[in-house]
Amino acid sequence: MFVWSKRIVIGLLAAFVILLGLFLIQSTGAASSNLKMHTTRWITLNYTGLVIWVFVWMIDQARVRGKNVWFWLVPFLFAPLPVLMLFVLYLQRKLQA
């Protein structure tokens, strides 16, 4: 992969660990609503990480095939799964000679 580098991976993992630590420190553990808040934060953190990872994969695939991926960024932020499916179909279409 062209896009992934050690600095990117270490930076993303460090950000994940720091945010997770912040979420754990902020929870008091006494009320039942804290579990809901912690769970919501955990799901949001994981979803955000997944979206970033998938878009970096899209950048890598577009670069390998010589396509422009930045056109896909805004739609991807609003609906990641459908845009990902359309992007894969776009990359798989046959080239015209």
Cα 82 to Cα 1, 85, 89: the distances in Å are: 23, 5, 11
pLDDT for position 43: 86
**Chain segment 15-65, per-residue pLDDT in tens:** 888 887 887 777 665 555 656 777 888 888 888 888 988 998 899 888 888
At residue 97 the predicted structure's pLDDT band, cuts being 50, 70 and 90, is low
- What string of DSSP letters covers 32-53? HHHHHHHHHHHHHHHHHHHHHH
Q: 52 or 12: which carries more pLDDT confidence?
A: 52
Distance CA 65, CA 88 (A): 12
Residue 27 is which amino acid?
S
pLDDT for position 8: 72
